[in-house]
Amino acid sequence: MIKPQIPLLLISFFTLLIMLPKSTSARLHPRRDGTPPSSSSGGGDGKFCLSWRLGVEANNVVAWGTVPRECQEEVESYMIDGQYEEDLDLVMQQIFSFLNSIPLSFDSFDAWVLDVDDTCLSNLYYYKTKRFGCEPYDPVGFRAWASKGGSPAISPVLQLFNKLLEKGFKVFLVTGRDQETLGQATINNLHNQGFIGYQRLILRSGEYKGQSAVRYKSDIRQKLEKEGYRIWGNVGDQWSDLRGNSTGNRTFKLPNPMYFVP
């Protein structure tokens, strides 16, 4: 009996199928040191950048200094083409659902904590000049930007802020901005954007200089609890806003793939 011969072209096709998953997997994953694959090695495609952004939001990718250069277009598109707003709206739906379930007391000690930068106020215009986070953090440049007081309100958070006040909650705005250099500019910016009626704006004072955001904000929340406040909700765009001690009954992470605050 004459055995049928498999055409050489078909053999090459099946060989390619066997090899493809391995090469694709290598292309999508960062190097062992945590950095993304370089453009010359085939990195920077949309799938890697989507995975990187998910890892950032889930706090699985930590201690990163800048957005991978391959992902600038992905982050830019995410922030300005509508998906950021969609994700933000989903988080806000969860916040309002929780808010409406809280049995408010009558002692005026029910409280919420809100971060300021990229929670209450947007710095998107500033980060556009930094290639949406691809350039290293520039404290001098950011201070110059913040001192102008031109950061617009993030509209859904302003709505939340007003709803909290309407229901009778005490709202504390806690920010890592320096009290000495940015205190008045921050107050003016918040007021100009409609954040009026909060219980207290807390900025980083000298005693917290050099401390991590986690330690600083934990200490502030602990002090609020010692004053008798019950923190029902804690909202921020960084995991360092939400980790540590006295985090509140529930925490809510707003999307922000442009920078990481430890």
pLDDT digits (tens, 9 = 90+) for 131-149: 999 999 999 999 999 999 9
Tokens of 91: 């988080």
CATH 3.40.50.10070 fits 76-253, yes or no: no
Q: Which of 12-21, 78-87, 220-229, 237-246 has the lowest mean pLDDT?
A: 12-21
Please give the Cα distance from 139 to 105 (Å, whole number): 42
Tokens of 151: 């950061």
- How much is the pLDDT for 46? 83
Arithmetic mean of pLDDT over the chain: 88
Share of the chain above pLDDT 90, in %: 82
Q: How do 250-253 and 110-114 pair as beta strands?
A: unpaired
- How much is the pLDDT for 237? 98
149 CA to centre of own chain: 21
Q: How do 170-178 and 230-236 pair as beta strands?
A: unpaired
Kindly list the distances between the CA atom of residue 81 and the CA atoms of 25, 87, 260, 261, in Å, as whole numbers in the listed order. 28, 12, 22, 24
- With a cut of 70, say whether residue 70 has pLDDT above it: yes
- How much is the pLDDT for 5? 54
Query: Looking at the chain, which runs of residues are DSSP E strands?
Result: 110-114, 170-178, 200-204, 230-236, 250-253
pLDDT, mean of residues 64-70: 97
Per residue in 177-206, pLDDT tens? 999 999 999 999 999 999 999 999 999 999
Kindly list the distances between the CA atom of residue 160 and the CA atoms of 79, 119, 167, 240, 248, in Å, as whole numbers in the listed order. 21, 11, 11, 21, 17
